[in-house]
Amino acid sequence: MANHSTTKLTPSLRSVQTIILKLLGLYALMAREGIMIPCSGATTPRVDFFHEIFADIGDMQGLESELSTFSGHMQFASEVLRSCDDDDDDDDANDTHSLALFDELGTGTAPQQGVSLAQAILERLVSSKKFTVCLTTHFLEIKNLASESGEGVYKIGAMSFSNDKPTYLLQMDKTGESHAFNSAEAQNVPQDVIKRARELLSSDSTLYADLSSKLQRELDQLEAEKEEIASLKADLITSKQNQTKQQHDLEQQRNNVKTETSREFRKVLQRKERGERAKRAFWKRSILAMRVSVI
């Protein structure tokens, strides 16, 4: 979240993506107050310091406030945009940075109008460079912003699923697939209704969903193959290290044998030399004794 102006979550169930959104806000608050957060990973986790944290999570509709679901979301977006404009007018706020969390920005109205407003709001906040924005969405146009924009502006992530059940693991650089029909089945919506809904789904939407699913499966397969290759590479490195160690040990043993053999050979030579010296001394004494006897 720290390295990108906008992160879009595209998991398949609203409650699941909302959990991730709440966790991001909670961790940001904890980090701002100096509270350690539970995290781990291959790289050192990082959370930026946010002076203000705005969160639009859940349904803000209410009869007493005369707010619909959509107008409630727009009221919150208006407050965030005003804060963005106020920061632009305040020289002391140039160094401030805020976090904005949107749950299903642009929903509750006509889809085409909703997605246009959502993108316009995103572009305004991102262009200010004073906000890090994280939102959940099912809008295809919003999802495509990550691939159409420059590097580092937008980042997309999706919730991983196993057997159509959420694992609550956020996978970055992956686009989530909506599981509306599966969710409907889980809530015991009659099968004939779901079947009819599938028939009514436009061919373009069906094609995109099929291609998206196929692409996701291929990406998952590539990821699995990548992990397998990494594992094989690690095994190969370990095997090579073991082989190098064995060669070193064997060379050490060979050197030890040579050293021991040389030592034993020197001992044999020394014993032989001592024997030869003893023989020469004996014969020398014997000759001297014979000369004395002759004299």
Residue 89 predicted with pLDDT over 70: no
Q: Where are the domains of the chain?
A: 6-177
Q: What is the pLDDT of residue 229?
A: 92
Is the Cα dihedral 255, 256, 262, 266 positive or negative?
A: positive
Q: What ranges make up the beta strands (E) of 94-243?
A: 98-103, 131-136, 154-162, 165-172
Task: State the CATH architecture for 6-177.
Answer: 3-Layer(aba) Sandwich (3.40)
Supply 204's token pair.
């373009």
Residue 277 predicted with pLDDT over 50: yes
Residue 75 predicted with pLDDT over 70: yes
Q: What ranges make up the beta strands (E) of 137-266?
A: 154-162, 165-172
**pLDDT tens digits along 178-195:** 667 777 887 888 888 988
Quick one: pLDDT band at residue 36, thresholds 50, 70, 90?
confident
Is the Cα dihedral 201, 204, 210, 215 positive or negative?
A: negative
Distance CA 53, CA 132 (A): 10
Beta carbons of 155 and 8 less than 8 angstroms apart: yes
Q: What is the pLDDT of residue 12?
A: 44
Q: Edge-to-edge, what's the strand order for the sheet holding 154-162?
A: 52-56, 98-103, 131-136, 6-9, 154-162, 165-172
In angstroms, what CA-CA distances link 176 with 41, 89, 121, 137, 196? 22, 38, 22, 10, 24
Q: What is the mean pLDDT of residues 63-85?
A: 79
Pairwise pLDDT comparison (65 vs 139), residue with the higher score? 139
Supply 293's token pair.
């006897």
Distance CA 117, CA 135 (A): 14
Which of 76-90, 97-111, 204-218: highest mean pLDDT?
97-111
- Apex CA 43: angle with CA 6 and CA 123, to 5°? 5
Q: What is the mean pLDDT of residues 151-162?
A: 73
- Residue owning tokens 């370990």: 238
Residue 13 predicted with pLDDT over 50: no
Report which DSSP code applies to 151. Answer: T
Distance CA 93, CA 87 (A): 5
Residue 216 predicted with pLDDT over 60: yes
Q: Which residues contact 290 (CB under 8 A, 6 or more apart)?
A: none
Mean of per-residue pLDDT scores for the chain:
78
Beta carbons of 60 and 72 less than 8 angstroms apart: yes
Q: What is the pLDDT of residue 263?
A: 85
Beta carbons of 24 and 155 less than 8 angstroms apart: no
Q: What is the pLDDT of residue 205?
A: 58
Q: What is the pLDDT of residue 18?
A: 80
Q: What is the mean pLDDT of residues 57-79?
A: 75
Residue 219 predicted with pLDDT over 70: yes
Pairwise pLDDT comparison (164 vs 288), residue with the higher score? 288
Which of 12-21, 90-99, 203-212, 263-272: highest mean pLDDT?
263-272
**pLDDT tens digits along 127-150:** 888 888 888 888 878 877 776 765
Q: What is the pLDDT of residue 29?
A: 92
Quick one: pLDDT band at residue 270, thresholds 50, 70, 90?
confident
Q: What is the mean pLDDT of residues 112-127?
A: 89
Pairwise pLDDT comparison (89 vs 69), residue with the higher score? 69
Q: What is the pLDDT of residue 100?
A: 92
Identity of the amino acid at 258: K
- Diameter of the chain by CA atoms? 149
Distance CA 54, CA 102 (A): 8
Q: What is the mean pLDDT of residues 164-186?
A: 73
Q: What is the mean pLDDT of residues 118-131?
A: 88
